[in-house]
Amino acid sequence: MPVAALLTLMAVGQFDPYVRSRVTAGDPSTQALYWTVPLVTWNLNREGNLVTPAETEFQAIRASFQSWQDIFTSCGNLSLQEGPLVDSREVGYLRGKTNHNLVLFRTQNCSELAQPTDPCWKAETCANQYDCWDDDDGTLAITLTTYDKRSGIIYDSDISFNASRYFFTAVDGPPCTSQGQGNCVANDVQNTATHEIGHFVGLDHTRVSGSTMFPSAPQGEVSKRTIDPGSRDFVCDVYPKGKPSQSDFHPAMDTLAGGPVGDKGCSATGATATSMGPALLAWAWLRRRRRAAEGRS
């Protein structure tokens, strides 16, 4: 995409209290992404981060989901419920397989496991094939969402942490001041997960200072653990209590709550990946999008 066009897209709504994710990133003429089912189950991969006892980061991630659930309980219509720990490490919507809304840590980098000529790079399948982080080094975590391209209805959303590059911690403070320091906040699991769950439920980045959905996080930050008023309003507006979830225009013509199995007339499934990078590189990681290799065509 030409730089000018990209800058224009980035400028649209980037200081709004909240910004909805779109079928085409940053293009408000395309459908917003949202869940239409009343209950979304998410699953932790049982391995955790392999650095600390898995239960440490699991509790941090549960606290992040709970922060969102508290808002959904007060003014929303969606329940985010933890399912059992799972062995699966495959992200994306997997045709003909059991699909989990997965949260996992990638501890190895794909560049060390897959040859540069490996077809998995082009097909964007390295992460699943080699169980590795295949995205930019400057990205802390990524949420891969698979949705119906016409309606914006989300089918599947998976959160991956980049533990191949970043040291994740689950303590409250103080910020670490040097590498390898113990009992301090390096990259906070709960801070990161709270942001990524925002993507999971259909939020894009906003550059409003102090927002949970601000696109970057400096080391030591824990402030995104507390969900800001703009992101709270998103829940109340888009998932209103006692009412259907809101598409903001040209509502979906059919319901696809059962998922994209069988032909319900939708022509394609897209996937969007939204990432969160370190502060200095934040502008580069505002928004990423890619088609799911496993998507329908």
Q: Is 162 near Zn ion (CB under 5 A)?
A: no
Alpha carbons within 13 angstroms on the beta-carbon side of residue 294 total 23
164 contact partners, CB below 8 Å, separation of at least 6: 106, 107, 108, 109, 132, 133
Q: Is 206 near Zn ion (CB under 5 A)?
A: no
Q: Is 194 near Zn ion (CB under 5 A)?
A: no
Region 253-292 residues binding Zn ion, contact defined as CB under 5 A = 274, 276
- Closer of 190 and 274 to Zn ion (Cβ): 274
Q: Alpha-carbon distance 34 to 113, whole Å?
A: 35
Q: Alpha-carbon distance 150 to 267, whole Å?
A: 7
- Closer of 150 and 204 to Zn ion (Cβ): 204
Of all residues in this chain, which one has the CB nearest to Zn ion in the complex?
A: 276
Q: Alpha-carbon distance 51 to 6, whole Å?
A: 38
Q: Is 140 near Zn ion (CB under 5 A)?
A: no
The residues pairing with 162 across neighbouring beta strands, listed in sequence order, are: 106
- Closer of 266 and 286 to Zn ion (Cβ): 286
Q: Alpha-carbon distance 89 to 103, whole Å?
A: 9
Q: Is 125 near Zn ion (CB under 5 A)?
A: no
Q: Total binding residues for Zn ion by CB under 5 A?
A: 2
> β-strands 269-276, 141-148: how paired?
antiparallel
Give min distance, CB of 163 to Zn ion, in A.
17
- Closer of 126 and 276 to Zn ion (Cβ): 276
- Closer of 109 and 272 to Zn ion (Cβ): 272
Give min distance, CB of 90 to Zn ion, in A.
22
Q: Which residues bind Zn ion (CB under 5 A)?
A: 274, 276
